[in-house]
Amino acid sequence: PPSEAQIILTDNERNAVTDLLQYLENLTTTNFFNGEPLSALTTLSFSDKISLQQSAALAFAEVTDQVAPQVERDTLDPLLFLLSSNDTDVQRGASAALGNLAVNVENKVLIVKLGGLEPLIRRMQSPNIDVQCNAVGCLTNLASH
Confidence of residue 112 (pLDDT cuts 50, 70, 90): very high
* Single-letter amino acid, residue 1: P
Entry pTM: 0.91
Q: What is the dihedral of CA 60, 55, 80, 108, to 10 degrees?
A: -10
Q: Give the residue-averaged pLDDT of 88-111.
A: 97
CB 58 within 8 A of CB 88: no
How far separated are the first and last CA of the chain, in Å rounded?
Answer: 50
Helices 105-113 + 88-101 axis angle, to 10:
130
* Alpha helices (H) along 67-104: 73-83, 88-101
pLDDT of residue 2: 52
pLDDT band at 9 (very low <50, low <70, confident <90, very high): confident
What confidence category does residue 4 fall into, taking pLDDT thresholds of 50, 70 and 90?
low
